[in-house]
Amino acid sequence: MQGGTFEALAILLMAAMLPPSVAARPAPIDTARAKWTVPRTPWGDPDISGAWPVEHLAHTPRQRSQLIGTRTELTDEEYEHILRLAQRQIDGREQEADANILSMGHWIERGLPLRQTSLIVEPANGRYPELTEEGERLAAAEKTSWNNDTFDWMDDFGLFDRCITRGMPSSMLPGSYNSGIAVHQAPGLVAIRLEMIHDTRLVHLDGRAPPPPEVTSWLGFSIGHWEGDTLVIETTNFTPGASNGPAPNSAQLKVTERLTPIGPDEVHYEARVEDPVVLQEPYKLAFPWRRQADYQQFEYACHEGNYAIRDYITATGTRFAEQRARVAQANK
């Protein structure tokens, strides 16, 4: 089953132990980038195709530690501390290979951390907005392997547990592994291929309208347009029930993304998430994408042989507990 976000929690705890912050120094001007122009496809659109894995985001928590407040960047001292810890985790693979063992060092995919203190940049505190009353109800009723340990039927598992979807915007954010994102372009269409759960999002650029609201899918329906060199994607028509962060989404979820190329191998990614049924206000994610030409996506097989769900039910469910109690009673 899917594990908890222990690495993000560790970052928050480490930040709490760091010394008081000082203002981050401004970045120097990149003169090479200033002279760079966005390449074009043969049909004239900005070319953002390629592999854009987001494993380098894994060390940055979605929500900012409350101890950091509204500060958006780590200080030099904080960043060096986190950088050393990140490098130690990256080196775990080689250490395991030397010890002839196969453990999390081979499974967890992490890059070096960002300087920003959270992936959420709005509200100003870098945290999820408060839930509505309905959002609180949906959050309390949600069952996943992260908050439940007795499984009697399929509904006791989350959609991610069952390898159906991570929902939106979670599908565009890093996990522990399989963090590949690839962009493919054709006239009137952009395809965003996701390594985790092997989903592909189709972004229609031909001016079509979304389908009627009763036509839904887990990743919604995406229409896009270019504003200069920025690809703007508006996604609606979501099937309710996938977790968008603090609670499962409603049918009124809307995600507006902006992909802006800012260098030969870098895109600035933003996603504004609004769901008035669940959230009291919208929130925005923002972070860099970095192209890796040699990144290869692998099959996301999830449960080998599709036995995992059944085995959890037979090994942890109420029926198993009742059977064990009967056997214990008979052996008295």
The beta strand positions in the chain, using DSSP E, are 50-51, 120-122, 181-186, 189-194, 200-204, 221-227, 230-236, 254-263, 266-274, 283-290
pLDDT score of 304:
60
Convert the pLDDT of each residue in 266-284 to its tens digit.
999 999 999 999 999 999 9
Write the pLDDT tens digit of every residue in 191-231. Answer: 999 998 889 999 999 999 999 999 999 999 999 999 999 99
Angle at 81 between CA 80 and CA 87, to 5 degrees: 85
Domain enclosing residue 173, as ranges: 39-55+124-290
Q: Is residue 99 part of a domain?
A: no
pLDDT grade, residue 323 (50/70/90)?
A: confident
192/203 Cα distance (integer angstroms): 8
* Burial class (CB within 10 angstroms; exposed 0-12, middle 13-18, buried 19+) of 165: buried
- Collapsing DSSP to helix, strand or coil, 254 comes out as strand
For 17-26, write each residue's pLDDT tens digit: 333 333 334 4
Q: Domain of 162: which CATH number? A: 2.40.128.20
Beta carbons of 52 and 193 less than 8 angstroms apart:
no
The rounded distance, in Å, linking the Cα atoms of 75 and 77 is: 5
In a domain, 304, yes or no: no
In a 3-state reduction of DSSP, which class is residue 67?
coil
Residue 189 falls within a domain, yes or no? Answer: yes
Question: At what angle are helices 318-330 and 308-316 packed, to 10 degrees?
Answer: 40
Residue 179 vs residues 186, 277, 284, 289, 295: alpha-carbon distances, Å: 23, 29, 20, 12, 10
Q: Is the per-residue pLDDT at 63 higher than 90?
A: yes
* pLDDT value at residue 17: 38
- Strand pairing of 221-227 and 200-204? parallel
pLDDT score recorded for residue 32: 57
Chain Cα centroid distance, residue 208: 28
- For residues 225 and 311, give the distance between their C-alpha atoms in angstroms, rounded to a whole number: 46
Q: What is the pLDDT of residue 5?
A: 39
Interatomic CA distance for residues 203 and 182, integer angstroms: 13
Contact criterion met (CB below 8 Å) for 149 and 7: no
Give the range among 159-163, 195-199, 292-296 with minimum mean pLDDT.
159-163
Query: What is the spatial distance between Cα 322 and Cα 332, in angstroms, rounded to a whole number?
Result: 16
| Residue 306, SS3 per DSSP | helix
Q: How many domains does the chain have?
A: 1
Residue 195 forms part of a structural domain: yes
The answer to whether residue 210 is domain-embedded is yes
Residue 88's pLDDT is 81
Most confident of 109-113, 151-155, 246-250: 246-250
Q: What is the pLDDT of residue 86?
A: 82
pLDDT band at residue 305 using 50, 70 and 90 as cut-offs: low
144 falls within a domain? yes
Q: Is the pLDDT of residue 9 over 50?
A: no
User: Which has the minimum average pLDDT: 16-25, 26-35, 96-105, 183-192?
Assistant: 16-25
pLDDT of residue 121: 97
Residue 180 inside a domain? The answer is yes
Q: Is the peptide bond before 129 cis (omega within 30 degrees of 0)?
A: no
* 137 in a structural domain: yes
Average pLDDT, the chain: 85
Q: Please state the φ and ψ torsions of residue 174, each to the nearest 5 degrees.
A: -70, 150
Q: What's the CA gap between 320 and 313, in Å, rounded?
A: 8
- Residue 123: is the preceding peptide bond cis (ω within 30°)? yes
Output the six-digit token pair for 30.
């990149």
Q: Tell me the β-bridge partners of 230.
A: 227
